[in-house]
Amino acid sequence: MKKAILFSIVALLCVTALCDEAWSQAGSFDGSELTQASFLLRPTDSLYYSSALADGTPVSLTIGAVDQSDSTKTAAIFSNNSGTAVEGYATWDYTASDLPKNDTYTITETVVSSYETKSLSRSVTILPEPAILALLVIAGALFLRKRVKALIAILALVSVSAIGAKADVVSGVAFQQMLPFTRDVAITYTVTPAANTIYDVKFYGSTDDGTTVFDLQDRGELHLSVANLNETFCSAGTHEVVWTPDESFYSTKVNNFKVKVEATAISSASNYLVIDLSGGTGAASYPVSYLSDVPSGGWSDDYKTTKMVMRLIPAGTYIMGSPQGEVGRKDNETQHKVTLTKPFYAGVFEVTQKQYELVTGSTPSEHQGDARPVERVSYNMLRGTDKGAGWPANNEVDGTSFFGILRAKTGLSFDLPTEAQWEFACRAGTTTALNSGKNLTSTNEDANMNEVGRYGYDKSDGKGGYSQHTTVGSYLPNAWGLYDMHGNVYEWCLDWSGEYGGNAVDPKGLSNGSSRRQRGGAWNNNTGITCRSAYCSNGDRPFANTSNQAGFRVFLVQ
């Protein structure tokens, strides 16, 4: 009995150490259908406006009040003519402006974008401060060309101060209901992650002051902002999500609504991340799970076709580039120190043709094979030509691109790697030309290269033939269990092609260019020197290019 009690206490302490949570203070939630006629303004108050629902579209916005009985009496409620996306607090004081209370005003909101100007006006009655208990205020609608997008004035119906977390990981949990015209709830929280640790973050709610708790995803939808799309990899700082309640909240009105944010450290038991693609292109979502180790018997064919597996790579510092004297070294491989401050997941295998087909519904490859790497895919096909062309200014992708679909169906910000991330993952702690810890000894056929990847001189039977790429995972992996980082197909990276800079922290490459970088070499390279860890194509592959040598590997970065 004593052992059982001791074991339980130890287990509880372990869970507590890995899991941290924080509640918001209790506040009001109104799920009823509000009408414009019900909006009232207090003489002195503040209003929070967010540009999140306008996708950051540059706009200017002004709100003014005119007394309906005396047009000479006016007040400017809010004004932002900076030409940037509106974001912040508007404050007003009608008393200071000598506007009578118990009077009716025309409130006009004018929104100006690069496309057009829209105005929305309505009548509101200014009541004495004690006359109303809740804040109800106006909202503006911004109708953008080619799509309708509402720039919603977010009412500070509840301005909730943070409750201290029981640990240092999660704190500052607060929420604001986004009225009017919506029952959505904006949730903010602050994360202070432990070094080199990633977290699985969950969101909970309660309508009875925490007595009964429910998962917000079970009672509605969570929408993550573009900047914080991947909430599993919470970086330090303040994050925001928006929760849209389901139909069960249509008539709910409570004053003791609370939100809880829970962060569980997953790195200790989550060396591998697995995406289940078996639902195919028609699936609403792709389930994500975690494994602590390679399955007994190794990676089955499922992990090369209907599932996608990724390995957790720790943050660290390494020497990028190649030393003088390395066989095949190029002038653009200048050695320099690179520090990657955040852990990330890297695909154990190159993306295969079956995996690509399940996500996009297409099979572009010239040399067919479900478990062979997909090729004839361009940078534009993977990230898109609109938002996806923005790297390194931002990490957005087009919704119809491969990564756009994968992000939407998992809720995680999968992407291509930077060159620095790719080489760090490839080397796995080695400093040699190959990630096996060996160097090349020849510029032609090389026995050391034959061990680690498909290239032109490797004519081994059973591996696809030297005139084509081969099934992923056919050669030796590196120390982190990643296969085919040498040869098989070139792998797209995010960076523009160009010369390295000096020592760097989390480098993103050049700000612009004419081609995107590829790494790792390919099946038809008649020499292993193009497959070395440090080798980078020198701007000879435009990002719209498709080739039977070009594929990619999925990364998940904080």
Identify the pLDDT of residue 236: 66
Dist. CA 281–CA 400, nearest whole Å: 12
CATH of domain 272-557: 3.90.1580.10
The label of the residue with tokens 């509402």 reads: 150
Residue 447, H or E segment: helix 447-452
The mean pLDDT of 76-92, rounded to a whole number, is 62
Dist. CA 137–CA 154, nearest whole Å: 9
Nearest by Cα to 469 from 403, 333, 538, 377: 377
Q: Which residues in 411-453 belong to E strands, given as ranges?
A: 414-415
Q: Left if phi > 0, otherwise alpha if psi is -120 to 50, otherwise beta: which for 369?
A: left
The answer, yes or no, to whether residue 436 has pLDDT greater than 80, is: yes
Identify the pLDDT of residue 243: 86
Cis omega (within 30 of 0) for bond into 392? yes
- Residues paired with 205 in a beta bridge: 214, 259
Dist. CA 383–CA 401, nearest whole Å: 5
Identify the pLDDT of residue 239: 76
Identify the pLDDT of residue 159: 29
Number of neighbours of residue 264 by Cβ within 10 angstroms: 18
Q: What does the domain layout of the chain look like in residue ranges?
A: 21-265, 272-557
Extract the tokens encoding 475.
Answer: 């050669």
Q: How far apart are the first and last CA of the chain?
A: 44
The answer, yes or no, to whether residue 522 has pLDDT greater than 70, is: yes
Cβ–Cβ < 8 Å for 498, 513? yes
Cβ–Cβ < 8 Å for 322, 529? no
Cβ–Cβ < 8 Å for 469, 375? yes
The mean pLDDT of 462-473, rounded to a whole number, is 72
DSSP state of 307: E
The answer, yes or no, to whether residue 470 has pLDDT greater than 60, is: yes
In angstroms, the Cα distances linking 458 to 301, 462, 549 are 23, 11, 16
Say which residue, 398 or 136, is predicted with more confidence. 398
pLDDT, tens only, 264-276: 776 544 789 999 9
pLDDT band at 82 (very low <50, low <70, confident <90, very high): low
pLDDT band at 224 (very low <50, low <70, confident <90, very high): low
Helix orientation angle between 402-410 and 353-360, rounded to the nearest 10 degrees: 70
Q: Which of 356-366 are b and which e, b meaning 16 or more Cβ less than 10 Å from the residue's Cβ?
A: bbbbbeeebbe
The mean pLDDT of 361-376, rounded to a whole number, is 95
pLDDT band at 222 (very low <50, low <70, confident <90, very high): confident
Dist. CA 531–CA 440, nearest whole Å: 10
Percent of the chain with pLDDT over 90: 39
The number of CA neighbours under 13 Å toward the Cβ of 342 is: 19
Extract the tokens encoding 350.
Answer: 């190159």
Backbone angles phi, psi at 170, to 5 degrees: -115, 135
- CA 98 to chain CA mean position, Å: 48
Identify the pLDDT of residue 225: 44
Q: Which residues in 225-268 belong to E strands, given as ranges?
A: 237-245, 253-265
Cβ–Cβ < 8 Å for 489, 421? no
pLDDT, tens only, 111-139: 676 556 666 666 666 665 544 334 333 33
pLDDT band at 286 (very low <50, low <70, confident <90, very high): very high
Overall size of the chain counted in residues:
558
Say which residue, 515 or 101, is predicted with more confidence. 515
Identify the pLDDT of residue 471: 94
DSSP state of 53: G
Identify the pLDDT of residue 66: 83
Dist. CA 185–CA 126, nearest whole Å: 26
The number of CA neighbours under 13 Å toward the Cβ of 31 is: 17
pTM: 0.59
Cβ–Cβ < 8 Å for 379, 514? no
Identify the pLDDT of residue 342: 81
Largest CA distance in the chain: 92
Cβ–Cβ < 8 Å for 413, 556? yes
pLDDT, tens only, 6-52: 333 223 333 334 567 888 888 877 776 443 333 455 565 555 455 44
Identify the pLDDT of residue 217: 78
Strands 153-154 and 214-215 turn out to be unpaired
The mean pLDDT of 521-543, rounded to a whole number, is 82
3-state secondary structure of 557: strand
Dist. CA 434–CA 519, nearest whole Å: 13
